Every structure is written in structure tokens, then in C-alpha cells.
Structure 1
Amino acid sequence: MSNYIALKNISQSFQMNDSQVTLFEDLNLSIVQGESYAITGPSGAGKSSLLMLMSGLEQPTTGQGLYVKGKQSKTLDFLRADIGFIFQQFHLLPELTALNNVALPLKLRGDKQALKKAMTWLDKVGLSQRINHKPSELSGGEQQRVAIARALVFEPNFIFADEPTGNLDQRSATEIADILFSCCQENNAGLVVVTHSDVLANRAQHVFSLEDGTFKQASNETLKVIAC
């Protein structure tokens, strides 16, 4: 059985001006490694919060998140070593070259092949001629390619992308989507994309919408349900 993430009866609320705002409640979802998912909805609906919850980077108000890896079921805290994250704002270190930005996650893990692997991934995303350029010397599309390479360089089981094409023109957005989906498929990584773009969302195998606290499947397909 594939590794997967399971959210069970997840709710997320916060206080604002002495009142409680609930983004969503009693949400159930399974994210299976090797499959792609898109979450759409208006700004402020809670899409990014949901992404942070399912990646284990934030804790829900109520409910439980599990990471099922092989025959072991663990909390989402154990997921962090197996995920890559891609942000709309790229979050590259400005003082580092493209090569060193991509190599950084591997260097932090003590991988002596960090630079070699980073070179390989920059070649995969079409930036082999730009490895010594710093972020300020790259276009938005090129910076996002670096961010994708950085997220995938250690071959994580899951990739989370928060508006990965939000700051790009249509041509660059299409190129980034092509790279993102093909690289995840090649590496059997689960992909979860939060996006306002219907074009990007419709490339995913499973499409969901989050609006006014309601989370639902946007198509008629049946989500694979996994019993934990």
C-alpha cells in the first residue's frame, strides 16, 4: 500500500475581535503518495491553513492528522522529513546562487553529494546554464524553477505548493505547471497544490474547493477512501 496522509475530523478556528472565526470543521481527507490534488477557493477561505495542517507544519484546533508510512501510523510531526514545500514568493536565499539554494536542504542533512544532486535537478528544470546566478539575476519563472528543484532535490514523498504560479505570466505558469507535475510523477511524489487557477487545478487527479467553511470535491469522481 502507498504511503498516505489522513486528516480526520479536522477543524481550524481563530479569534478575531473577540469573536471566533471557523475556517472549516470536521474535514476528512486522504492524500496518497503518487497522486495529485488541487484545492481551490476564494482568498481567506483557509486553503493555505489547510495546506499547513496537512503538511504537519501547523496544528489543528480539533481533529487528528496521521502519516501512514508502510505499516506504521504516526503523527504528522514525522512527516516533515518527507516533504518539500513550494511558495508563491519563492523564498530563495538572495545571497546564494541557484546551485547553492538547491543544494542547501541536502547540505543541512549532511549529504556529501549535495552539489552534484543539485546540478542534476537544475538540469531537470532547464536551468543548467543559470546555476551560478543569484535570485536577483533570474526571472520570476526561473526563480520558481529553482524553488521546485530545491523542493524535490531530496526526493520527498510529498510536495506541497502554495499558489506556485500566482506571480507568473501565463507562459511561465504553464511551463512551471508542466515541470511540477512531470517531476512529481517521475519521482512518485504526492502533490498538493493550492491555487486560484482553474487551469492549474484541472491538471490534478483530484480537485477540491474550500469556500464558506465547506470543503467538497469539485468533480464527480470518487476520492479514494482509505481506512486507517
Structure 2
Amino acid sequence: MSSYIELKNVSQSFQVNESKVTLFKELNLSICQGQSYAITGPSGAGKSSLLMLMSGLESPTSGQGAYVKGEQRKSLDFLRPDIGFIFQQFHLLPELTAVNNVALPLKLRGDKHAEDKARLWLNKVGLTHRVNHKPSELSGGEQQRVAIARALVFEPGFIFADEPTGNLDQQSATEIADILFSCCRENNAGLVVVTHSEELANRAQHIFSLSGGKIKAQVNDVLKAVSC
């Protein structure tokens, strides 16, 4: 069953004192499950805000978003159970071990096998030997691996990652990118990455540049004509 996220004529603005700041205006974009996307552009262009809109975690100032799953067309509010989100700052709970951080989303859903599944995913991201370590005992790259395992543990249809390699050294960044793209391919998840890294962006099937309130596909967006 094909699923995709559709944004139609979405705009995002906010007030600063008495001035209105518009991040972007009347954007149209579709994100298909099973395909990978990179969103690039200068700082302050609104990339992270667009990511939040796509994932249904924020609402646009104007325009509409839809989650299309098979024959059903719903608002993006219905997307939330089907997404995993990876933050640049990891957002792991400091008092929990790696396995309990990863298991938490499943436990909140009442999954009795949460810890077993968490261990399986920690193994997939190469952290079998770190399952009982807390975030403070892990390197930045290891913490990001835990965050990826946590986002993927319930096998969501879409993964959103905001600068997932931004705080990492080059070797760790490459390893994290390898894990992220391979795990999403294995689970047929749609992947949307916001990044300043040209190297990371070039690994995506589709690359979009957000600048001056407009979004455009780059020349090397080889699958831009492929529908969901």
C-alpha cells in the first residue's frame, strides 16, 4: 500500500515584535514512502520548520497538508503514529540506559516485547556492547546511533532527521549516514533529511534547496519525475 505526504500551498510566518517574518510561501511538495529526500539551504531559510510541517508536528500559517495511505486521505494529524524523528541534539533521556531509551516508544504503546526489540535495533546500529550504558557514557556518534534505533524501533513509514550528522566528526557522520540510509531502505521507510552537508545530501534520491522562501529541485534530483 503506497503512502505519501502532500503539502499544498503551505506558507509559514511568525511575528517578531511588530514585524512579520515569512520563512516560505505557497510551497508544494510530496514525500513518498520508500524514497529518500534531502533539504538543503542557508541557515534561517526555514528548513527545520518545513520538516516539522511535513511530519505533522506543526501546522502551517496557511495551506494544507495531507497524509495519503492507500485509498485514504487524511490530515497530517494522522501521520504522527507512523513517523520517527531524529534530532541534531539527540534528545535522549539521561537517566535511562540505551536499551531503555530505545524501548521507550514501544513501552508507551504497550508493547510487551519492547526491550527485546530495542536490543535487536541496537545490534543493527552496532551498539550491542553499549545497551546498558547511559547517554553520558556514550560518544556523540554512539548517542546518535541510539537516537536512530529509537526512531526506527517501531518501523514507522517515514523518518525525519534534522541535521543528524551536524555535531559529529567526519568518520562518525559517514557511519551514521550509512546506518540511516540502509535501515530506511530495509524497512521501506521514507526518509527526509535536513542538512548543510553536501556529502550527506548527495546520498538522497531527491535533493531540494530551500532559499528565499522558495523550494526547488536540484539538477541531480534523478527521481523527481517518479511518482509514489
Q: Return the TM-score normalized by structure 1.
A: 0.97
1:8: which partner in 2? 8
1:169: which partner in 2? 169
More off after superposition, 187-196 vs 8-17: 8-17
Specify the code of the residue in structure 1 equivalent to 2:39.
I
Deviation at 1:223, TM superposition (A): 2.1
Asked if 1:150 corresponds to 2:132, the answer is no
Contact preservation (8 Å) 1:101, 1:150: yes
Q: For the structure 1 residues 31 and 101, does the alpha-carbon distance in structure 2 shift closer, same or farther, using more than 3 Å as the test? A: same
2:29: which partner in 1? 29
SS at match of 1:167: coil
Asked if 1:223 corresponds to 2:224, the answer is yes
SS at match of 2:210: strand
Specify the code of the residue in structure 2 equivalent to 1:223.
K
Contact preservation (8 Å) 1:30, 1:225: no
CA distance in 2, matches of 1:117, 1:147: 14
Q: Return the TM-score normalized by structure 2.
A: 0.97
1:50: which partner in 2? 50
Contact preservation (8 Å) 1:30, 1:226: no
Specify the code of the residue in structure 2 equivalent to 1:18.
E
Deviation at 1:224, TM superposition (A): 3.9
CA distance in 2, matches of 1:184, 1:225: 19
SS at match of 1:7: strand
CA distance in 2, matches of 1:2, 1:60: 25
Specify the code of the residue in structure 1 equivalent to 2:224.
L
Q: For the aligned residues, what is the CA RMSD? A: 1.2
SS at match of 1:118: helix
Deviation at 1:222, TM superposition (A): 5.7
Q: For the structure 1 residues 225 and 13, does the alpha-carbon distance in structure 2 shift closer, same or farther, using more than 3 Å as the test? A: farther
CA distance in 2, matches of 1:222, 1:189: 16
Unaligned runs of 5+ in 2: none
Q: Percent identity?
A: 80
Specify the code of the residue in structure 1 equivalent to 2:6.
A
Aligned residues: 227
SS at match of 1:160: strand
Contact preservation (8 Å) 2:39, 2:192: yes
Residues 117-172 of structure 1: per-residue CA shift (max 9 Å, x gap): 00000000000000000000000000000000000000000000000000000000
Asked if 1:87 corresponds to 2:87, the answer is yes
CA distance in 1, matches of 2:170, 2:71: 43
SS at match of 1:129: helix
Unaligned runs of 5+ in 1: none
Asked if 1:181 corresponds to 2:191, the answer is no
CA distance in 2, matches of 1:212, 1:151: 31
